[in-house]
Structure 1
Amino acid sequence: MTAGPQNRITPRQSRHRSQERAERTRELVIEETIRCIREEGFAAASTRHIIERAGVSTGVVQYHFGDRDGLLTAVVDHAITSLVSSVNDLADEVEGIAETDERMKALADAAWKTFLNPASMTAMEILIATRSLRST
């Protein structure tokens, strides 16, 4: 028995699903890198160790990030994107607050939460650990 036309997956649907799966895999590797650095420190975050933790192949990391530097850059980019999103959300929240003291409190609370989030803390750790590499 053959599937009718309504049960077939078109190339466009297949490509869309593949793209979604690739994006989920990319996010998984980034999140696992964040967890690795938070739990074990920057020195433990070798490509091989992250691959083992994430349960992916070397090819996945090479495809999405190129190498360890590309992966670490993606983690920092992820944190910055999250930071920008938080700032935009905060701007919307603060807009409705009339009192200056309340606005300042809201800003301080948001900054504290933003910089204590694991992605931000990991990005800071990466930037500190690689500082000497950038100063040459």
Structure 2
Amino acid sequence: MATATTAPRTQQARREATRNALLEATIQCLVQQGYAGTTTRAVAERAGVSAGALQHHFASKQELVSEAISYLSSKLTTQLIERGLPSASSRRQLTEQMLDYLWQTLNGPLIAAATELAAAARTDPVLRERLAKAQRQAIEMVPLAAQQLFPEQAARPGFTGLINTALAAMRGVVLLGFVSSADKEEAWRAARPQLLAMVKGWQG
């Protein structure tokens, strides 16, 4: 009986490992090669699996890339929550931690991959439909994670709106970095004090 119950779990673990490897490979392809270069063959080769194995998990490229965004946003959110934040000695320090947490979240493979897909989705209705759901999930995860990391702040009215407003401003700054990292850093140095002032005004 022990052998009979162990085998299915091992098989499930292998399936999950293959699926995760494909999703990780998809993100890497999107960031390094763009959407056009993210072919199912390229993803399968990078993940070290056959094309048939990929098709077993994902029926289309659109499904693969949209699932990769959901997977990565969930993974990053979990990592941020588990890592936590150092204790803050003042309200200002807590506010700075909150903004820097959001900035760190956006400065990684998630925004690069999502931007590639957003551009492609403009003329691909199938991708656009799938990506819309993944994008909503990703957008919702950041405020949820922020609520766990900053529970006292999250208890105040308007917290989610504040987070989403800051994220919208930061996304615009991050996009500058795809062309010039110097422009992005300069824009962030200018935007950060303004966002701090916005949060301070919300705190009262």
Name the TM tier (shorter chain). 0.7 to 0.9
Distance 1:98 1:38, change over 3 A: same
Partner of 2:52: 59
TM-score by length of 2: 0.53
Partner of 1:115: 106
Distance in 1, matches of 2:24 and 2:110, equals: 8
The Cα RMSD (Å) is 2.6
Partner of 2:63: 70
Distance 1:28 1:86, change over 3 A: closer
Q: Note if contact 1:32-1:50 (Cα within 8 Å) is conserved in structure 2.
A: yes
Q: CA deviation at 1:82?
A: 3.2
Give the partner amino acid of 1:52.
E
Distance 1:28 1:87, change over 3 A: closer
Give the partner amino acid of 2:51.
T
Deviations 1:5-49 (A, max 9, x none): xxx961221111111111111111111111112111111001122
Determine helix, strand or coil for the equivalent of 1:10. helix
Q: Structure 1 residue 11 and structure 2 residue 4: aligned?
A: yes
Q: CA deviation at 1:62?
A: 1.6
Partner of 2:169: none
Distance in 2, matches of 1:103 and 1:118, equals: 26
Q: Note if contact 1:80-1:120 (Cα within 8 Å) is conserved in structure 2.
A: no
% same residue: 28
Give the partner amino acid of 1:10.
T
- RCO comparison, higher one (Cα < 8 Å, 6+): 1
Give the partner amino acid of 1:26.
R
Aligned pair partner of 1:104 in 85, 95, 98: 95
Partner of 1:125: 116
Structure 2: unaligned runs, 5 residues or longer: 130-204
Structure 1: unaligned runs, 5 residues or longer: 1-7
Distance 1:121 1:63, change over 3 A: same
Give the partner amino acid of 1:31.
E
TM-score by length of 1: 0.76
